[in-house]
A and B are shown apart, each in its own frame.
Chain A
Amino acid sequence: KNEVEQSPQNLTAQEGEFITINCSYSVGISALHWLQQHPGGGIVSLFMLSSGKKKHGRLIATINIQEKHSSLHITASHPRDSAVYICAVRSNNDMRFGAGTRLTVKP
């Protein structure tokens, strides 16, 4: 079993829909990152969390340390949000990555 599990693996949505991507982890962590990887391959760091909730524009990330779970929400999704979203956890000076969620938003 992977230490970082993401769901769903693939997600297709219509423009305007509310999106939720989930990440569960099984190790103790010092921080959790949400990354966005565009079709061209470039990676952008969206959030880094160690507790609570963060918001940036239409993106919201939450983390529940006790339940070892984080969610990434996208409100009013847009085709430009189409990308792979990757959850990564920092644990004992190591970084572990989820397999990613491929999001496609259709106009």
Chain B
Amino acid sequence: DSGVTQTPKHLITATGQRVTLRCSPRSGDLSVYWYQQSLDQGLQFLIQYYNGEERAKGNILERFSAQQFPDLHSELNLSSLELGDSALYFCASSSGTSGASSYNEQFFGPGTRLTVL
């Protein structure tokens, strides 16, 4: 158990809908990362937050957004869902004092499996 929790575990929805995925980092970790893992594109980095602020952005679509709240949990919002958004979404957390330039080890949550029908 990494100490990172993600809810829900599974999510099935229809095209055009909007969903919210939630992540609670390990106690004391200030950085949260979101990743997408699909069958055709493998793992991709979406976005990083550090202590409530966006610190790094990867291949995140404009239909997707995220935020990190004062209690450090994070939410990833996916809207106007398409079939191709079906994937495993992982959250990871790390400690660190310098946000985007932190080199600290990441601890991964169990993932949320999203199926868009």
Give residues in A with beta carbon < 8 Å to B.
30-31, 33, 35, 41-45, 48, 50, 86, 88, 90, 93-97, 99-100
Contacts and interface: CB of A to CB of B under 8 A. Distances in A.
Determine chain B's interface SS by DSSP, over half rule.
strand
Contact of B56 (A44, A88, A93): A93
Enumerate the 3 nearest inter-chain pairs by beta-carbon distance, A residue then B residue, closest first: A93-B56, A95-B45, A43-B108
Contacts of B108: 35, 42-45
Contacts, number: 52
Interface in B71-117: 88, 90, 92, 100-101, 103-108, 110-111, 113
Given A41-B110, A44-B2, A50-B103, 16 more contacts: A31-B103, A33-B106, A45-B92, A45-B106, A45-B107, A86-B43, A90-B103, A93-B55, A93-B56, A93-B100, A94-B58, A95-B45, A95-B58, A97-B45, A99-B42, A100-B42
A54 to B, nearest CB: 11
For this complex, into which size category does the number of interface residues on chain B fall? Answer: 20 to 34
A41 B9 CA distance: 12
Interface of B: 2, 33, 35, 42-45, 48, 55-58, 88, 90, 92, 100-101, 103-108, 110-111, 113
7 contacts: A31-B103, A41-B111, A44-B108, A45-B105, A88-B43, A97-B43, A99-B42
Contact of B88 (A41, A86, A93, A99): A41
Contacts of A96: 45
